[in-house]
Amino acid sequence: MADYVNVNYAQTGESQNTNQYGMRAMQARAFDARNSQFMLVKAPPASGKSRALMFIGLDKLENQGIAKVIVAVPERSIGSSFKSTKLTDGGFFRDWVVNPQWNLTDGGGTQKTKAFADFMASDDGILVCTHATLRNVFEQLGAAAFANSVIAIDEFHHVSADENNRLGEVVRALMEDGRSHIVAMTGSYFRGDTTPVLRPEDEARFTRVTYTYYEQLNGYRDLKTLGIGYHFYRGRYVEAINEILDSNLKTIVHIPHVRSAESTTDKYTEVDRILDHLGTNLGRDPETGFDRIQRADGHILKVADLVDDGANREKVLMSLRDIKGRDHVDIIIALGMAKEGFDWIWCEHALTVGYRGSLTEVIQIIGRSTRDAPGKIHAQFTNLIAEPDASEDRVTDAVNNMLKAIACSLLMEQVLAPNFKFRTMKDADELDGTRRESDIVYTGDDNVIAIRGFSEHSTARTRQILESDLNDLSAAIFQDESVLRAAMNPDEYAPEVVNQVFIPKVIARQYPDLTAEEIETVRQAVVANAVFKSPSVSIEQQADTKFVRMAERLINIDEIDIDLIDSINPFQRAYEILSKSVTADVLKTIHGAITSTKVAMSEEEAVSLYPRIKAFVADKKVEPSLVSPNPLERRMAEALAWIREAKRRKMAAAQQGA
């Protein structure tokens, strides 16, 4: 089965190398910010966030006068990521030691709230619990009980600015109280819905530490490639899964939720059918709880069933927390578990059944397979999904949203590694002869591009967004219905409309606290960054002058203006790559669904198109036609008609008021 996306990595090994304290690149970056009271660590799966927290927490206990470190994870299976770890072997001053009594994610009937209270009264310094336990304890004890403590929240995107989000309430209350420290960690700082993780005023108080997918995956030693594939089936998935479930690959299988369209509603029977496809069930191993499946060639597979929520699951979870090596387990079958923070470095294939509408969930599931491990050269994500039926609007919309998630996953590789610095170009130089630079500075390559008309109105808030949130913002932009529609219909939507109308709306929706000037600053930087990272844009050196090839023209880098950049749709390229791989039938279905729901003309789009309309009339000596075979000409004609109608209504209103 062909992949829709195949990414190759450089294998520099940099992200896996350690410094004199045993810290990898991301961990050292986070440790540099260890004195911050509120810290937000955004880094991809497998980058070492758990150990980064250990380094930071121990420094706060040892050197900053903090008494307690409390680690909260979304589900019990992730608790093993924070088990006792010998850090002194790598050169650090202290080991991370968790008393088993205070690891509240382990099994057993312990009353979590009482155990938590006992820990707070003890002399021990480290506790691990679930988000649910933290919420329940906070409701009973209040913020004062957490004074002089570090609250580390893993998978922080579970927090929400919504007033009904209980974990969000805990975070806001702790920040308002001001006596505790917070370390927030996530691999996807977006929720997959319209609710922000934090309110802007709260988010601004956090020190950001960002480590990108590009840095992480490009710095692996063994993993060379990542494949992202989608497989469509007819009938029931339990029959089709045999085509793509390769028992030679270490695989996590996520079956669909029982209320989803793909589910048979009997999760236990679904697992049994998957096991039947793999071979003959020889029963469960009494020590590990894993199912032993004998293949036709005689090889015995070890399968961990996390769907069965009976007594055996506790044994399976304990066995998965104590994985000894590559051959400890072969396949894991799960429903809602083993998505976030689940650390199985040998996993080669993340196979997910059913439509996943949340980009956050897609990224988290992909992350299960992207750990670097000796001898592991390829990671694979496959989504097995029902073939779309154009006659069913529900399925069409679902596949449309799924393709947006694919596109964003594809786009992530392209936008997460900024390579350029942008500066404003003044029409007149400063008195000392130098050019005035903006405060928007990107890390990475030393390519510096001056842009005429580039905004100078940067503020601390816009710098924070562009330095820390550029990847999440770009993903949100490409998920927007209007931007995606324009990417799919490049002949109908002018790039100026995308860049000057659609993108600012997304920015304003993501950051409602920004002023109009700040929105424009962010817009210009987002568009410029996306344009210059496009594969169709290249920089060439001729003598002492650098040129950039844009819009099929060679342009002196020192003569670039924002109007030229706005004439390119940077998000179309991602869709072009996507459309080369998705089958024609699926594209036809999605294209039809989007076209049928085309939005009416807005004032912003009409105003944005007006300069193009004037240029068209000056060049062609006629107005654009509503019946033209050229879709962009038709759109310009619609805009012209809208403008004239708006003018007519305005004049009529004036006459009535006279």
Q: Are 483 and 506 in contact (CB under 8 A)?
A: yes
Q: What is the structure's pLDDT at 191?
A: 45
Strand pairing category for 280-284 and 181-186:
unpaired
Residue 259, both tokens: 């209320």
Q: Tell me the per-residue pLDDT of 8-46, one tens digit each, with 9 for 90 and over.
A: 555 566 656 788 999 988 899 999 999 999 998 888 777
CA distance 117 to 140: 10
**Of 598, 600, 191, 585, which Cα lies nearest the Cα of 396?**
585
Alpha carbon distance, N-terminus to C-terminus of the chain: 71
Q: How many helices (H) and strands (E) does the chain have?
A: 23, 20
Q: Are strands 300-305 and 447-452 parallel, antiparallel or unpaired?
A: unpaired
Instruction: Provide Rg for the chain, Cα atoms.
Output: 27
Residue 226's closest CA among 1, 15, 413, 380?
380
Tell me how far apart the alpha carbons of residues 493 and 486 are, in angstroms, rounded to a whole number: 5
Q: What pairs with residue 185 in β-bridges?
A: 41
Q: Which residues contact 308 (CB under 8 A, 6 or more apart)?
A: 268, 271
The H-assigned helical ranges of 489-602 are: 495-497, 503-510, 516-532, 562-566, 572-579, 584-596
* Low-confidence stretches of the chain (pLDDT beneath 50): 1, 189-194, 390-391, 410-419, 427-446, 581-599
Angstrom CA distances, 286 to 188, 290, 301, 331, 626, stand at 38, 8, 15, 17, 74
pLDDT value at position 23?
92
pLDDT at 284: 92
3-state secondary structure of 475: helix
Give the pLDDT confidence of 360-412 residue by residue, as tens digits: 677 778 778 878 888 888 888 888 877 765 445 555 555 555 555 555 554 44
Q: What is the 3-state secondary structure (H, E, C) of 101-139?
A: HHECCCCCCCCHHHHHHHHHHCCCCEEEEEHHHHHHHHH
What pLDDT sits at residue 194? Answer: 47
What is the Cα–Cα distance from 440 to 463, expressed in whole angstroms? 6
Q: Kindly report the number of other CB atoms within 10 A of residue 641's CB atom.
A: 15
Q: Which residue from 634, 639, 487, 626 is spatially nearest to 570, judged by alpha carbons?
A: 487
Q: Of 131, 213, 142, whose CA–CA distance to 174 is shortest? A: 142
Confidence at residue 374, expressed as pLDDT on a 0 to 100 scale: 87
Order the strands of the 251-254 sheet from edge to edge. 5-8, 225-233, 378-386, 349-353, 251-254, 331-334, 300-305, 291-294, 280-284
Domains of the chain: 9-212 (3.40.50.300), 222-387 (3.40.50.300), 415-599 (no CATH), 600-658 (no CATH)
- Cβ atoms of 126 and 69 within 8 Å: the answer is yes
Distance CA 198, CA 25 (A): 27
Proportion of the chain in helix, strand, coil states, percent, rounded to 5? 45, 15, 40
Q: Strand 553-556 to strand 68-73: parallel, antiparallel, or no bridges (unpaired)? A: unpaired
pLDDT value, residue 149 = 95
Instruction: List the structure tokens of 564.
Output: 């030229």
Cα torsion 147, 152, 158, 160 to 10°: value is: 40
C-alpha span between 402 and 543 (Å, rounded)? 48
- pLDDT recorded at residue 250: 93
From CA 561, how far away is CA 548, in angstroms rounded?
Answer: 12
Alpha carbon distance 415, 396 (integer Å):
28
Closest CA to 344 of 360, 363, 367: 367
CA 456/CA 450 separation, integer angstroms = 12
pLDDT at 416: 36
Contact between 64 and 89 (Cβ < 8 Å): no
pLDDT (0 to 100) of residue 9:
55
